[in-house]
Amino acid sequence: MHKQNNWVALNTIWIKECTRFLRIWIQTLVPPAITMSLYFVIFGNLIGDRIGQMGGFTYIEFIVPGLIMMSVITNSYSNVSSSFFSAKFQRNIEEMMVAPVPTWVIIAGFVGGGVARAMLIGIIVTLVSLFFVNVQFHHIGVIVLTVLLTSILFATAGLINAIFAKSFDDISVVPTFVLTPLTYLGGVFYSLSLLPEFWQIVSKANPIVYMVNGFRYGFLGVSDVDIAVSLSVLVVFNIVLFTLATYLLKTGRGIRS
């Protein structure tokens, strides 16, 4: 009975989260497609020819996986951070907290909504990229696993951000001052092999490097880091963030006041 109730609760939260971003699809699904199209035109067609090849591929082929991953990271994070904070701001998150539902079900429901949006955005951006380049698929399994782990990771991170946030302005602090710099310095537009040895070592402290390169390996078969290391980093970060999110919700941090 408990398992059935948990499944009903999880399914309900997940459907609510999906309905939320699908209802305003013009604001949630269309802008990433337009933004990525501009990246493809400017960095791929206009600048790419002057840069030449990178890693044995044309520049636009090289950056496509990184651009798709960038859109996945941004949307999985923003979807959960805004949704959970809205629930906290409207005080209806308290109803979930007092319901006979395990904490992991609440987290999984919100994170599942972020993952759904990220996966949908990833598919849309991939389809858009077909107008600019012939997309290759070296290893479908690595592509799916990497994008799934990445979207779960940043959806959970978005939930943690929302737990600590005290105003809607706080929601934009982490994406602006942390997420964006790490993403642009995560090897989306360049190979780490172009950097001096010292900065290559520094760059490997950036977790997004492993996500981008793991995803790039799935498409092109090339990576600046070992694919096993990339997947291991993703798994470890997911465990740490999920554990932290569970602890914060169980203790009522940022919710009880």
pLDDT, one tens digit per residue, over 127-171 is: 998 888 888 888 899 999 999 999 999 999 999 999 988 887 788
Give the pLDDT confidence of 192-215 residue by residue, as tens digits. 888 888 889 999 999 999 999 999
> pLDDT band at residue 257, thresholds of 50, 70 and 90?
low
- Distance from the Cα of residue 46 to its chain's centroid: 27
Please tell me whether residue 182 adopts helix, strand or coil conformation: helix
Selected residue with higher pLDDT from 255 and 114: 114
**pLDDT score of 178:** 87
Angle at 170 between CA 166 and CA 174, to 5 degrees: 135
> pLDDT band at residue 90, thresholds of 50, 70 and 90?
confident
DSSP label at residue 42: I
Contact by Cβ (8 Å): 217, 230? yes
Mean pLDDT of all residues in the chain? 88
**pLDDT score of 256:** 60
**pLDDT score of 114:** 94
Contact by Cβ (8 Å): 249, 163? yes
Assess whether pLDDT exceeds 80 at residue 94. no
Q: d(Cα 28, Cα 113) in Å, to the nearest integer?
A: 13
What percent of the chain has pLDDT above 90?
47
Q: d(Cα 224, Cα 216) in Å, to the nearest integer?
A: 9
Contact by Cβ (8 Å): 158, 78? yes
Looking at the DSSP bridge assignments, the partners of residue 53 are: 58
Least confident range from 69-83, 171-185, 233-247: namely: 171-185
**pLDDT score of 51:** 77
**pLDDT score of 47:** 77
**pLDDT score of 1:** 47
Residues 6+ apart with CB under 8 A from 22: 28
Classify residue 37 as exposed, middle or buried by CB count within 10 Å of its CB (0-12, 13-18, 19+).
middle
Give the pLDDT confidence of 226-242 residue by residue, as tens digits. 999 999 999 999 999 99
Contact by Cβ (8 Å): 240, 248? no
**pLDDT score of 169:** 79
Contact by Cβ (8 Å): 39, 133? no
**pLDDT score of 115:** 96
Cα distance from N-terminal residue to C-terminal residue, the chain: 33
